[in-house]
């Protein structure tokens, strides 16, 4: 098929590249000329393991093209995916201006019948608004459907190629047939394509992220209780996760969730509920717990030292999760700002988010080290924020020799508490035995 993807962020670029990898001719469009120039020059504007190789291969095979021109992108397009940003507005609503603008331009430049697909995370009822825009601009028949993404940053290629499920909301048999054909190569191992009505599909993405966020905040609340009662949250987590009705994923306590999806989608669900007269108290608590948890590292450090003024604190990990450079609503932002606000000096390291962090903390006095041990040198404490693999087995003897004070504050519970203490460190974890 001839496919157009509007938007070359995480979702758009991964979607377009993976469809090209399965043999389709894909044109990715973005209104940012610098981004398209970078892609056409062989660069990739985001960090995502495996993506750059796939982009280069499919560009070389002429299955993947990049443009800023709707006329070029929509020529002979049979399917057009809208994968642009939907940033939250002041009241928590997803801002649909970019989605609707893309729909208008798609309609104006159609050259044949086309299935227009909402790939962006959009609130319930958005497909109807897209259809209304297309009705005013399109001169060819069209169908609108919803196909929410469930990609994890850092594992997006594998998620697309081997999905748990594909959710598609359709209102016509034609759209259903087109989407079934499009996803056939990715569901040959019995993963289901779940066809449903469009409104249910739109809500499914929000419901999934809200549930995962709820599990995280639940375990962070449980960790706080463990600290007060002298229990070990790791033991509790294993105990409840072994129940097949519960399972282990997303039951790891830490310093809260961030990124482009969970915080925004939790707020969006609460806003949608409020619009129809419901008060989603559970998610309000999820959000409140998460904001509190982001302050845990700073509070633990302040409690240990009494005052952070003049102290040098090392921070390992700035991206909101491993295998990405994304710092949108990352817990590290709250941590770094909290340390600075308490008079501490901050020296931080992240394997890939250094450039993003340099822009974010520009002029704030945050020193960004090239490698992790350089960040820890002379530090009064080392704070782990993001659990990159290279941080999981630190050289404790080396750290002991270069740090001013041997204090480790583990915001992800990935370090062995007994080994750290045996090596002469004061160790704090999240919800571990009254710490």
Catalytically active residues are 261
The bridge status of strand 142-146 relative to strand 64-67 is unpaired
397 DSSP assignment: H
d(CA 374, CA 377): 5
Q: Helices 51-60 & 10-21, crossing angle to 10 degrees? A: 50
Give yes or no for a contact between 14 and 22, defined as CB atoms under 8 angstroms apart.
no
Neighbouring CB atoms inside 10 A of 18's CB total 22
Q: Please choose, from the candidates 316, 287, 313, 310, the residue with its C-alpha nearest in 3D space to the C-alpha of residue 300.
A: 313
Q: For the chain, what is the total number of helices (H) and then of strands (E)?
A: 18, 14
Neighbouring CB atoms inside 10 A of 219's CB total 25
Neighbouring CB atoms inside 10 A of 110's CB total 24
Neighbouring CB atoms inside 10 A of 279's CB total 10
Sign, CA dihedral 247-249-250-251, equals: positive
Burial 120-147, CB ≥16 within 10 A → b, else e = bbbbbebbebbbebbeeebeeebbbbbb
Q: Please choose, from the candidates 114, 122, 121, 96, the residue with its C-alpha nearest in 3D space to the C-alpha of residue 172.
A: 114
List, in sequence order, every residue forming a beta bridge with 347; answer none if it has no partner.
314, 367
Give yes or no for a contact between 427 and 421, defined as CB atoms under 8 angstroms apart.
yes
- Chain centroid to Cα 164, Å, comes to 17
Q: CB neighbours of 362 closer than 8 A, spacing ≥ 6?
A: none
Give yes or no for a contact between 109 and 73, defined as CB atoms under 8 angstroms apart.
yes
d(CA 68, CA 57): 21
Neighbouring CB atoms inside 10 A of 402's CB total 15
Q: Please choose, from the candidates 191, 194, 184, the residue with its C-alpha nearest in 3D space to the C-alpha of residue 145.
A: 194
The two three-digit tokens of residue 157, written as one number? 């290629």
List, in sequence order, every residue forming a beta bridge with 367; answer none if it has no partner.
347
């Amino acid at each position: 098929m001839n496919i157009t993807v509007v938007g070359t962020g995480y979702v758009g670029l991964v979607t377009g590249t993976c469809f090209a990898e399965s043999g389709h001719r894909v044109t990715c469009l973005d209104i940012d000329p610098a981004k398209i120039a970078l892609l056409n020059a062989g660069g990739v504007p985001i960090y995502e393991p495996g993506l750059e190789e796939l982009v280069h291969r499919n560009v070389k095979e002429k299955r993947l093209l990049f443009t800023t021109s709707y006329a070029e992108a929509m020529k002979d397009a049979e399917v057009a995916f809208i994968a642009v940003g939907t940033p939250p507005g002041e009241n928590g609503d997803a801002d649909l201006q970019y989605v609707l603008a893309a729909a208008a331009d798609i309609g104006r430049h159609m050259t044949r019948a086309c299935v227009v697909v909402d790939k962006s995370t959009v609130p319930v009822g958005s497909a109807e608004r897209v259809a209304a825009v297309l009705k005013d601009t399109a001169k060819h028949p069209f169908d609108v459907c919803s196909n929410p993404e469930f990609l994890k940053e850092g594992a997006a290629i594998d998620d697309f190629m081997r999905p748990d499920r594909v959710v598609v909301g359709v209102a016509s048999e034609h759209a259903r047939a087109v989407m079934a054909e499009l996803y056939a190569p990715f569901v040959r191992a019995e993963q289901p394509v779940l066809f449903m009505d469009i409104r249910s599909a739109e809500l499914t993405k929000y419901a999934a992220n809200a549930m995962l966020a709820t599990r995280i905040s639940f375990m962070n609340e449980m960790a706080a209780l463990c600290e007060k009662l002298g229990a070990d949250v790791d033991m509790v987590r294993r105990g409840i996760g072994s129940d097949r009705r519960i399972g282990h994923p997303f039951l790891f306590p830490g310093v809260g969730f961030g990124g482009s999806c969970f915080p925004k989608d939790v707020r969006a669900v609460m806003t949608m509920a409020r619009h129809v007269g419901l008060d989603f108290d559970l998610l309000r608590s999820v959000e409140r717990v998460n904001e509190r948890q982001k302050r845990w590292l700073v509070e633990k450090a302040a409690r240990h030292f009494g005052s952070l003024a003049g102290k040098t604190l090392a921070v390992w990990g700035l991206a909101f999760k491993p295998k990405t450079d994304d710092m949108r609503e990352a817990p590290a932002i709250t941590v770094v700002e909290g340390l600075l606000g308490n008079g501490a000096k901050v020296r931080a390291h992240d394997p890939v988010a250094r450039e993003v962090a340099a822009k974010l903390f520009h002029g704030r006095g945050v020193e960004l080290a090239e490698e992790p041990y350089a960040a820890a040198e002379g530090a009064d404490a080392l704070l782990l924020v993001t659990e990159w693999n290279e941080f999981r087995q630190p050289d404790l003897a080396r750290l002991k020799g270069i740090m001013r004070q041997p204090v480790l504050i583990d915001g992800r519970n990935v370090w062995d508490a007994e080994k750290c203490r045996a090596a002469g460190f004061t160790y704090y974890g999240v919800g571990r035995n009254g710490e």
